Amino acid sequence: MNYWTVIPAAGQGKRMNAGISKQWIELLGKPVLAHTLDVFEKDPLCEGVILVGSKQELKQMQQFVQTFQYTKVHQIVPGGKERQQSVYEGLKKVTKDADLVLIHDAARPFITHDSIQQLVARAADSGSAVLAVPVKDTVKKVVQDHVEETIDRSSLWAVQTPQAFRLSIVMKAHEKADKEGYVGTDDASLVERIGETVAIVMGDYHNIKLTTSDDLLFGQAILLDRQG
Ligand code: CTP
Ligand code: MG
């Protein structure tokens, strides 16, 4: 099934503390945003991309898309203060007759075609699906400086992007959250709030989000490993 993709790239990368936002950081000589966009540009199932950038970076982003000749980027739109607002702005620009929409963070450049294919197949069936991996660490609930509870790990999954939804479902979820001033930590949590079931698709531990500078080290290792 064909899909559209919304790519939020309007954050400031405060935790990375690199002096530039994360999508411009180069990994093996190529900006993070190029690593991410290349995957969707090359995927025949992807019909169009809406890129969301911060107001101050829109010109830079337009130039970047021209230089790299990304033919699937239909629009570059200004984002909001929070990621959720940026995604909502992007969703509004997706063509109304799209069946599925994938929402994928610009800062997660190691997504593979294989994962996308599995995610899309599941979402086409169930309406909503996310990539996730089982949590490997033991997780404890901490109060001040001591453990309150050790949480049963067997049902805990770390959720990634892309997250895939039927356009009508995710629009309804974002509209409701926007109206009610609800802010969730991902798009699926908004969809859960309107009573939809979100399917879990086994992701890949290499599909990391670049958040702090340690992640750049892992990221380079992942790319070098892929080069063989
Ligand atoms: N994002 C966005 N609009 C925002 C905030 C974030 O489009 N107002 C995007 C980021 O550009 C990133 C993705 O959402 O691709 C995931 O967010 P995160 O990892 O938190 O990135 P930043 O917000 O840039 O980083 P930080 O929270 O450390 O400032
Ligand atoms: Mg952020």
* CA–CA gap between residue 186 and residue 84 (Å, rounded): 8
pLDDT at res. 55:
97
Q: How far is CA 102 from CA 80, 84, 90, 94, 120, in A?
A: 19, 14, 11, 11, 8
For residue 6, CA distances in Å to 47, 101, 116, 154 come to: 11, 7, 14, 32
Neighbours of 105 (CB within 10 A): 23
pTM greater than the 0.95 cutoff: yes
Q: Is 187 in contact with 165 (CB distance < 8 Å)?
A: yes
Intra-chain end-to-end CA distance of the chain, in Å: 31
The CA distance from 55 to 198, in Å, is 32
Q: How far is the CA of 7 from the centre of ligand 2 (A)?
A: 14
81, 83, 187, best to mutate for ligand 1 pocket (most atoms within 8 Å of CB): 83
The rounded Å distance from CA 228 to ligand 2 centre is 32
Q: Which residues contact 120 (CB under 8 A, 6 or more apart)?
A: 1, 3, 45, 100, 102, 164
The strands making up 3-9's β-sheet, listed across from edge to edge, are: 73-78, 46-53, 3-9, 100-103, 157-166, 128-134, 199-202
Tens of pLDDT, residue by residue over 18-64, are: 999 999 999 999 999 999 999 999 999 999 999 999 999 999 999 99
Set out the domains of the chain in order of their start, with CATH numbers: 3-128+160-227 (3.90.550.10)
The protein residues having their C-beta less than 5 angstroms from ligand 2 (an ion) are 11
Q: Provide ipTM, 2 decimals.
A: 0.99
Rounded Cα–Cα distance for residues 113 and 40 (Å): 8
pLDDT of residue 1: 87
